[in-house]
Amino acid sequence: MTDQTLERPWRLLIADDNPDDSELCLRELKRSGIPFEAHVVSTRDEFAAKLRQEDIELVISDFRMNGWTGLDALSIVKEIAPGVPLILLTGTLGDQLAVECIKRGVTDYVLKDQIGRLSLAIRRSREERDLHEAERLVDQALRQSEARYRSLVDNAAYGIYWERPDGALVYANRALAEMLGYDSPAEFLALGNTAALYSNPARHNEIEESHRKEGRVDAFVDWKRKDGRGVTVRLNGRCATDLDGSGSCLELMVEDVTERIALEAQLLQARKFEAIGQLAGGIAHDFNNMIGAILGWADMGIEEAEPGSRLHRHFEKVRHQAERAGALTKQLLAFARRQILEPRDIDFNQSVTDALNLLEKVIGSNIEIKCSLGIDLPVVRADPTQLEQVLMNLCINSRDAMPEGGSLIIETSKVSFDDEACKVQPLSHPGDYVMLSVTDTGTGMDSATLDRIFEPFFTTKELGKGTGLGLATVYGIVRQHGGFVHVYSELKMGTTFRAYVPVSGGAAAPAPVQPEEDPQVKGGVETILVAEDHDGLRQIAAETLTKLGYKVISVADGEEAVRAFLPGAPEIALALLDVVMPKLNGPEIYARIRAHRPDIAVIFATGYSADFALLHKVQQQGLPVLQKPYTARELARKVRETLDHHPAHSL
């Protein structure tokens, strides 16, 4: 160390009861060039007082003084100013005593007849003091760092633990204990080994092997909570030094991803159903037109064939198969959320009650039906026929799951979902719902089956025992009403389906009175415009109306339909307009026609709910809609009914 490092004066305390010796010490300090400020004392009390009063950096003490010694001075330093170095300046000091003094903590000793060593001893003491101070600061920083790290680990939101290469648990934080349902980290560590956490022991061996080979782990595993329930976690960790420095261990962070994986699965399922729904809806939409044509030609053949004849029976079979195909397309459209709904504010409990009589007939006597309906349920806006279809399909599905009999429980209740609850159900929105629950004591389903139960044509029944569209229809109907379906099932324990439909906030409307069907289909002499781009359906509609006495103008696109109303064209009493047409759609055609004929009667034909976006304005006007596929009788009745109720054309 150079003199430059000692430019700041050292604050010294000199303890010596001999003035000559203390003067000798001061002269040597001045001669050495060491800057200093010195306090000289001769008694124990003065020594202790100065240590308390002054910020002393170095003590120089005689070994033998009147009534006390240098070792007494050392004891006082340790008590009052620990860490301050002490150099003994003595006339004589034997080797044994010198060793004892150094052991006790004396920094160095200088014999008075070798006082020239004093400056060297001072410089060395300062170096040692600076070194000790640096070590102290490093140690303090290390302890603070360890404390911060420990606090960070103990209070982390994620679970953290250490395990040895054999899986033995070393440490765990509180977050991990709470995640797994333990009261404290100590209770968790009592498991002893991480093998006890794994639902699948083989998976534990895979993780340990990955640890040994790669030195780190990043994996999703299934663990068991304290109560035995499963939890899916992500493990992410690396090799580290054991907490006590005794060897290597694996330091792991644990994230509970059970909820996230469930949400991702639900989102994937929803996207899959959306894609399947678009395909099914598109097929069913086009198929509807073909079925309508088949039904029309079959009806016409039945009318023209002699009753009881072989040809008559053939046409009836064609019609029967077409009706079955029509029902199939309706189910596909229901799954695709493309069917035409006729919603109104209804009492859900009343709908369930009305369906019970029919349910008792189709369920069977070996199954006990229990019903628990919620009190004061709010009103929902829904198509009552479709909700009845949901209940019937769920109950029939439950019946088929109980071939030996069992119990079927039907429940309704009001349920509210807040933002937090909606996080675990991606198809829901915050608000109030009416829940329909159907529970059976049947065979139950495994997870692979649960993943596919709402897919069209997926069925676990024997060949020919079901189409696989029942639950797909339920899914589509509930989703089209703005709700969602939740399923819980365990093998050999049964299944619970819960369908949630949003509350409307209105008052239940009385059920509409269905008019008695007139067996006679009336015709007329008016001119009808049939605008339909499907050739078969356009032809059968024209044929049906012509046979009833109407004059028919057929067109295949929107622009042709508008030209039929130009000045000089035949007087048209009613326009039958397909909603989706080439060049101009149905509502656009109607808007242009009304510019020439504001009094024109109109019927919109559609079988696809996506068309209702186009029909929104005309729906508000109460204009009639004919749903595809329609029969010849339905077409004839709708045309006559519309004409009779239209002021400009009523007969």
For residue 389, give the CATH number of its domain.
Answer: 3.30.565.10
- Predicted pLDDT at 550: 93
Q: Are 393 and 474 in contact (CB under 8 A)?
A: yes
Residues 58 and 124 reside in one and the same domain: yes
Q: Which residue has the tokens 């055609």?
A: 589
Domain boundary among 256, 288, 319: 256
State the CATH number of the domain containing residue 308: 1.10.287
In this model, does residue 150 exceed pLDDT 70?
no
Between 196-210, 330-344, 575-589, the lowest mean confidence (pLDDT) is in 330-344
Which of the residue ranges 199-203, 215-219, 356-360, 613-617 would you say has the lowest mean pLDDT? 613-617
313 lies in the same domain as 372: no
Q: Are residues 463 and 493 in the same domain?
A: yes
Q: Which two tokens stand for residue 308?
A: 């009881």
pLDDT in tens, 550-605: 999 999 998 998 998 887 778 899 999 988 888 888 888 998 998 888 889 999 88
**pLDDT of the residue at 651:** 38
Q: Which of 70, 103, 134 is the last residue of a domain?
A: 134
The pLDDT of residue 179 is above 80: yes
Q: Is the pLDDT of residue 647 over 60?
A: yes
Question: Contact, 614 vs 604, CB < 8 A?
Answer: no
Domain span at residue 592 reads: 527-644
Q: What is the mean pLDDT of residues 91-100?
A: 78
Lowest mean pLDDT among 32-46, 61-75, 604-618: 604-618
- Residue 465 — pLDDT band, cuts 50, 70, 90? low
Among the candidates 468, 502, 536, a domain finishes at 502
Provide the pLDDT for residue 482.
85
The answer as to whether 371 is a domain residue is yes
Position 140 in a domain: no
Domains held by the chain: number: 5
Same domain, 244 and 206: yes
Shared-domain flag, residues 407 and 442: yes
Which segment, 120-129, 588-597, 617-626, is predicted with the most confidence on average?
588-597
* Residues 376 and 395 grouped into a single domain: yes
Cα–Cα distance, 651 to 643 (Å, whole number):
8
Residue 310 lies in a domain: yes
- Do 551 and 471 fall into the same domain? no
Chain centroid to Cα 552, Å, comes to: 57
pLDDT band (50, 70, 90) for residue 650: very low
Q: Is 465 inside any structural domain?
A: yes
Asked whether 195 and 204 are in contact (CB, 8 A), the reply is yes
Residue at 427 is within a domain = yes
Q: Do 313 and 360 share a domain, yes or no?
A: no
3-state secondary structure 583-623: CCCHHHHHHHHHHHCCCCEEEEEECCHHHHHHHHHHHHCCC
pLDDT number for residue 603: 92
pLDDT above 60: residue 4: no
- Listed in sequence order, the DSSP H helices in 190-309 are 201-214, 258-304
Q: What is the number of H-type helices and E-type strands within the chain?
A: 20, 24
* pTM of the predicted model as reported, rounded to 2 decimal places: 0.48
Return the closest-CA partner of residue 252 out of 191, 165, 178. 165
Task: Identify whether residues 163 and 226 lie together within a single domain.
Answer: yes
φ/ψ of residue 414, rounded to 5: -95, 135
- Which CATH number goes with the domain that contains 573? 3.40.50.2300
Q: Is 518 domain-assigned?
A: no
Assign residue 198 the CATH number of its domain.
3.30.450.20
Stronger pLDDT, 340 or 436, i.e. the higher one? 436
Integer angstrom CA distances of residue 221 from 47, 203, 208, 394, 632? 69, 7, 12, 34, 62
Confidence at residue 554, expressed as pLDDT on a 0 to 100 scale = 93
Map tokens 């996207």 to a residue. Answer: 271
- 303 and 426 in a single domain? The answer is no
Query: Within this chain, do residues 566 and 544 fall inside the same structural domain, yes or no?
Result: yes
Q: Is residue 517 part of a domain?
A: no
Cβ atoms of residues 160 and 151 within 8 Å: no
What value does the mean pLDDT take over residues 165-190?
Answer: 84
> For 651, what's the count of Cα atoms within 13 Å in the CB-facing half-sphere?
10
251 and 276 together in one domain? no
Answer whether residue 118 is part of any domain: yes
Q: What is the mean pLDDT of the chain?
A: 80
